[in-house]
Amino acid sequence: MSYIIEGGINFYDELYKSLDESPNKDSNSVCLITGLPLTENFVTMECKHTFNYIPLFNDICNHKKKYNSMERKMLKSTEIRCPYCRHVQTTLLPYYENMNVKQIHGVNYFSETANILNSLSDPSISPYLVGECCYKYKSGDQLIPCSNTKVTLVGEKLYCIGHRYLGKVALIKEIKLKEKMDIKQKMMLAKQKLAEEKLLAKEEAIKQKQLLKQNKINSIEKIKVDLGLAVVALPGCQQILTSGKNKGAQCCCLKIHTNNMCLRHHNLLNKHMPVVESIGEKI
């Protein structure tokens, strides 16, 4: 097919050539939607085209959430499309709390509940089959099974068209209960992990305290050894204390009585010594 324009140029040939050309190297550093430089948390699609997060998020939201009669194929909840080359990938956008955007199912978040609701509302995904509806009527003390045989799959159970909504409600309730239990389990695990970390921190603090205490004792013992190697007598009483908080230290009382001892230590030293009577007293 050819379409010749002014100057004898084949329009379609030139168009195909432009599609085959490799992207400019500069395009790897700019957003292909806005043309602005890439910022933090920019996204590289599987097709290697790059976009800033917010413009790409808005484009995918508009494409997936707004009906377009020109679209030939509807994307699944697990699919997004590159706005530059229309390549479809099965990886959703990442979610960043600091980007101030909502979590939207099928864009940057996947919700099992929303996916089931979408599948239930789409006849092509959940077609009607021949089977037995699992719903049972309550009549007094008896449960009477539904007699409809045109059924569809809701979760893992079959419901007829009349009870399909009830099956959907029961399934959503079951999923939400499961999600609630999962959240509770995660909170319990997080609480348990925090308690274990506190216990480990406490044990480590005790070890560090004991280590510091032992280092202090070792330092004191070393000082004592060093002092023992080079004893320097201090002024005052030279007697070494044998009790009390200053045990092992020099008395250092400055009031010397005799023999470099204070009166107290002189008396203590001579307390148990025998009294020698002078010869003059006997005569």
> Which tens digit of pLDDT belongs to each residue from 176-224?
888 889 889 999 999 999 999 999 999 999 999 999 888 888 887 777 6
User: Tell me, what's the pLDDT at 140?
Assistant: 84
Q: Higher pLDDT residue, 157 or 222?
A: 157
User: Tell me, what's the pLDDT at 194?
Assistant: 93
Q: Are 123 and 131 in contact (CB under 8 A)?
A: no
Q: Is residue 253 very low, low, confident or very high in pLDDT (cuts 50, 70, 90)?
A: confident
Does one domain contain both 133 and 161? yes
Does one domain contain both 95 and 145? no
Q: Higher pLDDT residue, 266 or 49?
A: 49
Indicate if the pLDDT at residue 20 is higher than 60.
no
CA distances from 83 to 31, 123, 144, 237, 283 (A): 11, 28, 54, 96, 133
Q: Is residue 188, in this structure, part of any structural domain at all?
A: no
Does one domain contain both 174 and 119? yes
Indicate if the pLDDT at residue 231 is higher than 60.
no
Indicate if the pLDDT at residue 93 is higher than 90.
yes
Q: Are 118 and 77 in contact (CB under 8 A)?
A: yes
Enclosing H/E stretch for 112:
helix 112-121
Does one domain contain both 105 and 128? no
Query: Beta strand pairing status for 142-145 and 136-139?
Result: antiparallel
CB atoms within 10 A of CB 232: 6
Does one domain contain both 92 and 31? yes
Domain range for 97 is 18-110
Q: Higher pLDDT residue, 134 or 118?
A: 134
Q: Is residue 8, in this structure, part of any structural domain at all?
A: no
The tokens 């002189």 sit on which residue?
Answer: 266
3-state secondary structure of 114: helix
Does one domain contain both 115 and 100? no
Does one domain contain both 146 and 91? no
Token code pair at residue 24: 């400019």
* % the chain with pLDDT above 90: 28
Most confident of 49-63, 130-144, 170-184: 49-63
In the chain, how many domains are there? Answer: 3
How many angstroms separate the CA atoms of 18 and 14, rounded?
Answer: 6
Q: Higher pLDDT residue, 69 or 277?
A: 69
Indicate if the pLDDT at residue 101 is higher than 80.
yes
> Average pLDDT over the chain, rounded to whole?
81
Query: Which of 47, 82, 110 finishes a domain?
Result: 110
User: Tell me, what's the pLDDT at 195?
Assistant: 93
User: Tell me, what's the pLDDT at 154?
Assistant: 82
Average pLDDT over residues 113-122: 68
Q: Is residue 34 very low, low, confident or very high in pLDDT (cuts 50, 70, 90)?
A: very high
Does one domain contain both 40 and 75? yes
Q: Is residue 9 very low, low, confident or very high in pLDDT (cuts 50, 70, 90)?
A: low
Average pLDDT over residues 134-158: 86
Does one domain contain both 74 and 152? no
